[in-house]
Amino acid sequence: MPEALAYDRVALRHDGAGGDAVGPVSLRLREGERALLLGASGVGKSTLVQAATGLFPKSIPGERRGAIRLCGRPVDDRTPADWADTCGYLFQDAAQTLAGFTVRDEIAFGPENAGVAGARLPEIVAEAMARAGIPETWSARRIATLSGGERQCVALAALLAQGAPITLADEPAASLAPVAARRMARLLLAPGRTTLVVEHKPGPVLDHIDRCIALGRDGRVMSEGAPRQILARDADALADAGIALPLAARLHLNLPDLIDPRLSLEEALARLPPGQAHRLRDVILPAPIPIGEVVLRLDGADCAPAFGPVVLRDVSLTLRAGEVLAILGPNGAGKSTLAACLSGLLPPRAGRREGAAGAVAFQNPEAHFSRESVRAEIEDIDPAPERVSRILDRWGLTAVADQHPFTLSQGQKRRLSLALLAETDRWPLLILDEPTAGLDGVAEAALRDRIAGLAREGRAVAVITHDMDFALSVADRAVLVGGGALRFDGPCAALMRDRERLSAAGLLPPEAAPVLDWIDRTC
């Protein structure tokens, strides 16, 4: 097939950096090929993709060595804006794409600027909305009123309306509920499309990928091949490089005597000998933690965003010391509003909130930053040099300690924002809003351990997430938000096996659901 995108010995360095952000890298994407780019946080995946149309270094200051070609032409032949007829781009943060109009105007923006006749725009917008699963009633909604996941759906619809033959997508499913993530994967990675996608959690896209390309910690290609091929062949090396693996591969690494890496999860479970339920349980479920006194109570609370209407009514919820609660629900269900009400950032419109103030780790990590370096941010917690060094090391930030927080990768920003809340004992209640977005496999495992540590210290922790397997691995209890109310409050594992209830809420069971079923059958 003809060449769509080619990197030839490309190395990229940000202005002021002491070393290359990525490379040298040589890789090819053919027309009609769907490739997945894997790598730990900070190895330069986003920078590499941004260079494809010249955004780096023409808009993002830096230096490029080596050559990049788009459809056989040097990328420098045109400006990044001129390549819009060839390449559509989905950023990690939809706010980088959306201009702040209504949903209708956002989706029409690309074709309108490409000179499409005004009479055709309503049809193009309606088709893109339908394909992206966006209700017609959203047309006049302002972007500012949408949740993070809803904005990502609008960004997808805008990309579809743009109609470019090549798609570059940087963690497009990170803030999406599972059903929406599956829809995005089907649309971006339909047979015949030419797509390069970056994902830390490749689960939703693996079945749609022709080739995986893995970058090592040195920013160079370390492994390449068909998805199942490299997962079976290089699972240990990929895990060591900080790359998140599907559940079957992770189970093999933890239980190599039980799980054959060449088999699918269902095939591996079918061959398991009896009496191994406890070993599987230890891998996918959190260890029990004693529950203490009540930290926070909502009693008949009506929750609403600032200056907005009530989105959740008559919420009664209690959180205790040592408890980890998963807050689940589809995009736009009111999970972040519930978080603000639980923490005390927003008082309930009706009902009562009782308990100490809590802290929220926001979806946008940049909302937490106010200092000139990562080190200075940490010093605000505790100025003692040895304590600062320990925190930097614990969160994998030592190498970027002297960088400005806004220059970090998305995963590094996420780790810093979480550290700023988790490393102080000021808050008896912590609420983490989509904490795994942008995190690689190593950072996610470290976060899982830190959440358990906070609970053992007597904190109450609530985790808002669309990552059902992460919720299952950290939370002993879950609430399901939907239709303006709490639809479930009980054991997290029980909810994860309730396919009918999850489906009604627009959610999907976790990847570990077959393991839960196997444990239930054999115990």
Summarize pLDDT for 268-289 with one digit per residue, the tens: 888 888 788 888 888 899 999 9
| Helix ranges, 14-113 (H) | 45-50, 55-58, 103-113
Average pLDDT of the chain, as a whole number:
91
Q: Lowest-confidence range among 25-34, 178-187, 290-299, 455-464?
A: 178-187
Task: Write down the pLDDT at residue 442.
Answer: 87
Q: What residues does 7 pair with on adjacent strands? A: 27, 68
> Is the pLDDT score of 264 beyond 80?
no
User: What are phi and psi for residue 454, nearest 5 degrees?
Assistant: -60, -40
What mean pLDDT do residues 108-119 have?
Answer: 91
451: part of which helix (H) or strand (E)? helix 441-456
3-241 CATH pick, 3.40.50.300, 2.40.70.10, 3.30.70.1110, 3.40.605.10: 3.40.50.300
Alpha-carbon torsion, ordered 331, 334, 337, 338, to 10 deg? -120
- Buried b / exposed e over 492-519, threshold 16 CB at 10 Å, is bbebbbbeebbeebbbbbbbbbbbbebb
Q: Over the stretch 143-161, which tens digit does the pLDDT of each residue have?
A: 988 888 888 899 999 999 9
CA distance 370 to 358: 20
Check if the beta carbon of residue 247 is closer than 8 Å to that of residue 263. no
Query: Could you identify the residue written with the tokens 């370390």?
Result: 222
Neighbours of 456 (CB within 10 A): 12
Determine the 3-state secondary structure of 281 from DSSP.
helix
DSSP secondary structure letter of residue 168: E
Q: What residues does CATH 3.40.50.300 cover in the chain?
A: 3-241, 294-522
Bond from prior residue into 428 cis (ω within 30 degrees of 0): no
Task: Write down the pLDDT at residue 374.
Answer: 96
Q: Please report, for residues 426, 475, 502, 510, the alpha-carbon distance to residue 481 in angstroms, rounded to integers and kept in the order given.
A: 28, 16, 11, 17
493: part of which helix (H) or strand (E)? helix 492-496
| Secondary structure tally for the chain: helices H, strands E | 19, 19
The distance between the two most distant Cα atoms of the chain, rounded to a whole number of Å, is 67
Strands ordered across the beta sheet of 34-38: 87-90, 166-170, 194-198, 34-38, 211-215, 221-225
Structure tokens at 142: 């302002």
Task: Write down the pLDDT at residue 277.
Answer: 84
Task: Write down the pLDDT at residue 279.
Answer: 87
What mean pLDDT do residues 5-27 have?
Answer: 92
Look up the pTM and report it: 0.84
Task: Write down the pLDDT at residue 171.
Answer: 87
> Is the pLDDT score of 100 beyond 80?
no
How would residue 380 be classed by pLDDT, with cut points 50, 70 and 90? very high
Is residue 296 exposed (0-12), middle (13-18) or buried (19+ Cβ within 10 Å)? buried
Q: Over the stretch 484-508, which tens digit does the pLDDT of each residue have?
A: 999 999 999 999 999 999 999 988 8
Task: Write down the pLDDT at residue 493.
Answer: 94
Amino acid sitting at position 29:
L
CA distance 416 to 466: 21
DSSP secondary structure letter of residue 88: E
Bond from prior residue into 57 cis (ω within 30 degrees of 0): yes
Q: What residues does 38 pair with on adjacent strands? A: 214
* Count of positions (residues) in the chain: 523
> Is the pLDDT score of 387 beyond 80?
yes
How would residue 362 be classed by pLDDT, with cut points 50, 70 and 90? very high
294-522 CATH pick, 3.40.50.300, 3.30.360.10, 3.30.1300.10, 3.40.50.720: 3.40.50.300
